[in-house]
Chains A and B, each alone.
Chain A
Amino acid sequence: MQLIMVLAFFWAMQIFANVAFKWGSNGTAGRSWRWRIGFISGNIVGASSILLLMKIYALLPANSNLAAVLAGSGGFIGGQLLLAVLFKSKLTTVQWIGVVLVAMGTAVTTLCGPAGGH
């Protein structure tokens, strides 16, 4: 249960950081307030989220691969979907297949083997 909570917060922070970077990128680099807010908030949240990543590694000490896959793929899928919705970016069919494959791979990796906990 703790792992799920930590993963959820880590994913949320990673997704927030990516959205902040994308949102800020619409401003003038280094000059506009929009760019600065996006850059600073994205970096603060993104760097802080690493504490949760380290917690995920601590919760799965015997299986670093699983920890890395779980941590990386959730943020990746969530980021892709939220960026597509918020910024109306159109994913191609191949990109959608990619997102689905990442989700399937994560599910298979998580469900088909030892979790690697204590």
Chain B
Amino acid sequence: MKTNALQRPSRGMTAILLAGYYLIGLAANFCFKEGGTDAAHHWYYFIGGNLLGIASTALLMGVYARLNVNLAMVLATSGAFLLLQGTFWLVYHSPLTVWQAAGILLVGVGTVLASLQPVERRSTMGNATTTDVPAERAPCN
């Protein structure tokens, strides 16, 4: 039985899960935005957006299972934030000033920094990304 091949997280699958999380999360946010401005279909968007949101978290859990938790959190939060902002700007033509764009960038950078957790120990094993223990999540008594 090829246990190594089965146990090793596939990069392709991780990328697919992350992309799925981004896209479904983005779709959920579009539902929330449209539901806010389209009173006739308010509840459809509310229910649809929430279902999509729940589905996206299932994919996120798949990403967490395959990547270092720090990296997964940074990729998930900052990627989703920047994708949402960029897509909203393109689709809805939001009238952003240069300062507002800079502010959004600051929020993005801040989110990345705030999501970075200290790594308590580094694994010396081959697959380091799955065995690092962030100090914040390390068991403590």
Which residues of A does B touch, CB under 8 Å? 47, 50-51, 53-58, 61-69, 72-73, 76, 80, 89-92, 94-95, 97-110, 112-114, 116
Contacts and interface: CB of A to CB of B under 8 A. Distances in A.
B69 to A, nearest CB: 14
Contacts of B46: 50-51, 54
A95 B113 contact: yes
Contact of A57 (B36, B89, B103): B36
Pairs A-B, 6 closest by C-beta atoms: A98-B113, A101-B110, A105-B106, A98-B114, A57-B36, A109-B103
A69 B113 contact: no
Contacts of A50: 32, 46, 49-50, 53
A65 B89 contact: yes
A84 to B, nearest CB: 10
Given A53-B36, A61-B37, A65-B85, A102 B114 contact: yes
B42 A64 contact: no
A107 to B, nearest CB: 7
A105 B114 contact: no
30 contacts: A50-B32, A50-B49, A50-B53, A53-B32, A53-B36, A54-B42, A56-B36, A57-B36, A58-B37, A63-B95, A68-B85, A69-B85, A72-B81, A72-B107, A94-B113, A95-B114, A95-B116, A98-B109, A98-B116, A102-B106, A102-B114, A105-B105, A105-B106, A105-B107, A105-B108, A108-B100, A109-B99, A109-B107, A110-B103, A114-B95
A52 B105 CA distance: 25
Contacts of A65: 85, 88-89, 92, 94, 96, 100, 104
**Secondary structure of the B contact surface, majority rule:** helix
Interface residues of B, number: 42
B103 A105 contact: yes
